[in-house]
Amino acid sequence: MNSINKWAIGALATTALVAGSMFLYSNKENTPKREMFSLERTISFENPQRTLDEAFKKLNPKHISEVIYDPDFIHSDIYLRKSLIGQISEREIESYIQSTRRQSPNHSLCVTGVISYVKDDKKRPVFARANMLFSPGIICEEDLESSLHHEDIHAEEERKGYDFGDKKLNGDELTRMFNNGDIRAEVILGVGEFDAYSSQLTRINSGNLRVSHMHLISTTTNAVQSYSILERALQRGTLKPMELKYFEAKRKKHAEAIETLKKYK
């Protein structure tokens, strides 16, 4: 099997915003703090592609080429086939396509990464699933814009390389480290999610984006959860040296956001 097969494409595919817990716990108060919010949906998905196009235009992301409404996986399947043809067998391509489909039940938006193309300096497409239409975390236009920003963070690493602090690694380097056991897909994915959610929070907290309360709670909860899992691994010494290096680069990037996350448990 080609070395690309040893790194699951799904491990580099990104997850979309999913509604998290409705309760956040503050260390300072030591009591549950419940945020009151309205679930009134103001965004219209009567024409999903048009709504996505409008959000894309408003956000003007740096690393996303287009956003495609793809509820039946038609466009993402074509994208994967074109990206993988000649690298692995047709049977293996179909196996990977089915694998990415199985990993997408709760996704609203995703960047489907192919490791061999990491750091090729090309913008990435984002695929939107039918779940987007009913997501409790996307109920206004600003929520969708924030969710696309999340995907733009993932697209940046796919395009520019995975940042390990002193160097941004390409697909060949990542594959080699994975095959040598220096990094694990689930850790790299977890750090990437911490990066994307923290970037969302920073943008929201800048005051330039009025997202819904549900979106804010969901994003904060996901950021807290991803950071807490990584911090526990750090405290237990279970992160490998290169995984730690990758995490440290993100901790430095999000030092201010981390101070906010520490208020919750």
DSSP string, the chain: --GGGGS-HHHHSPP------SEEEBTTT-SEEEPP---------SSHHHHHHHHHHHH--SSEEEEEE-TTSHHHHHHHHHHHBTTB-HHHHHHHHHHHHHT-TT-SEE----GGGTTS---EEEEE-GGGGG-TT--SHHHHHHHHHHHHHHHHHHHH-EE-SS-EE-HHHHHHHHHTTSS-HHHHHHHHHHHHHHHHHHHIIIII----HHHHHHHHHHHHHHHHHHHHHHHHT-S-HHHHHHHHHHHHHTHHHHHHHTTB-
Asked if the structure places residue 140 within a domain, the reply is: yes
Percent of the chain with pLDDT over 90: 74
Question: Given a cut of 70, is residue 23 above it in pLDDT?
Answer: no
What is the domain range of residue 236? 3-17+45-261
The closest of 16, 20, 32 to 67, measured between CA atoms, is 16
Which pLDDT band, with edges at 50, 70 and 90, does 18 fall under?
Answer: very low
pLDDT at 27: 41
Asked if the structure places residue 22 within a domain, the reply is: no
Average pLDDT over residues 4-17: 35
16 to 47, 82, 97, 182, 264: CA distances (angstroms): 20, 23, 18, 27, 22
Q: Which one is predicted more confidently, 97 or 162? A: 162
The closest of 199, 182, 190, 180 to 61, measured between CA atoms, is 199
46-65 pLDDT, tens digit per residue, is: 999 999 999 999 999 999 99
228-242 pLDDT, tens digit per residue, is: 999 999 999 999 999
Which pLDDT band, with edges at 50, 70 and 90, does 30 fall under?
Answer: very low
Give bridge partners of residue 116 from the DSSP assignment. Answer: none
Range scoring the smallest mean pLDDT among 8-12, 105-109, 131-135, 194-198: 8-12
Domain count, the chain: 1
Asked if the structure places residue 35 within a domain, the reply is: no
Asked if the structure places residue 25 within a domain, the reply is: no
pTM for this predicted structure? 0.85
| Separation of alpha carbons 103 and 130, rounded Å | 14
Asked if the structure places residue 163 within a domain, the reply is: yes
Asked if the structure places residue 70 within a domain, the reply is: yes
Asked if the structure places residue 40 within a domain, the reply is: no
Asked if the structure places residue 114 within a domain, the reply is: yes
